[in-house]
Amino acid sequence: MNKQELKEKYGKKRVPHEWRKTDWFTTLVVTFFGSGMSPKAPGTMGSLAAAIVAYPMAVLADHLFNGKERLFVPLHIGETECGLLINLFFLAAALFVFFAAIPFVKKAMKDTGTEDPGWIVIDEVCGIFMALAFFPTNLIVLHPWFLAIAFGLFRFFDILKPLGIHRFEKFPGAWGVMADDLLGGIYAGILLCFAAAGIYKIIFS
């Protein structure tokens, strides 16, 4: 046998990746610029990419709106008065990604004959942005390490899917792919909001 025959018989056959069955633009969207193509932990890579992108987004929002993107919602828990901050910029970003991604996720799954494959990570991007929708933009700019906390909290809810998140997975088609991460982001964001308040209370008390 010559070298080519040996390669054909014993060489590792390359199996085309599923995403190659759909068009390049759909692939670009659902893998979030290729971050979902990671052979290991694509969901983690997609979430990490979203957290990294969130920093320049926060810098831009802080420059453009200078705090005007915040909405404070007062809450009364028993005799305790507290509040929940809503970051309208990241809330809009999360909702935009959610609804804009639905047709692309639907097309990707239809073209490839898959159902919520790991390389679709645009839902993780939506979740990270939603987690940051409960956090002030200027603190992201001043203390980027809060992005690591948001990342960790979101991955916790995304992987374990507690508090009814797993039920959202059962929504039909692309809606199920996106909805569970949106809810996971909400839970992560609320925890992030209260965790940040606790950290600052300890630091400045």
CA distance 182 to 154: 10
Residue 12 belongs to some domain of the structure: no
- Concatenate the DSSP letters of all residues of 33-97 into one string: TTGGG-SS-HHHHHHHHHHHHHHHHHHHHHHHHTTTTEEEEEEEETTEEEEEEEEHHHHHHHHHH
Residue 5 belongs to some domain of the structure: no
Residue 4 belongs to some domain of the structure: no
CA distance 107 to 184: 24
Which pLDDT score is estimated for 177? 95
Q: How many domains does the chain fold into?
A: 1
**68 φ/ψ angles, rounded to the nearest 5 degrees:** -75, -5
CB 184 within 8 A of CB 157: yes
Residue whose token pair is 């987690």: 131
Residue 11 belongs to some domain of the structure: no
Residue 91 belongs to some domain of the structure: yes
Which pLDDT score is estimated for 205? 41
Distances (CA, A) of 20 to 17, 31, 113, 185: 6, 12, 12, 29
Residue 73 belongs to some domain of the structure: yes
Which pLDDT score is estimated for 13? 45
Burial class (CB in 10 A: 0-12, 13-18, 19+), 164: exposed
Residue 3 belongs to some domain of the structure: no
Which pLDDT score is estimated for 6? 45
Among 175, 169, 168, smallest CA distance to 106 is for 175
pTM: 0.86
CB 35 within 8 A of CB 46: yes
Helix orientation angle between 88-112 and 42-65, rounded to the nearest 10 degrees: 150
Residue 43 belongs to some domain of the structure: yes
Q: Which domain holds residue 113?
A: 18-204
pLDDT average per 10 residues of sequence, the chain (205 residues):
52 60 94 91 95 97 88 62 81 98 96 92 97 93 93 95 90 94 95 75 45
Which pLDDT score is estimated for 204? 41
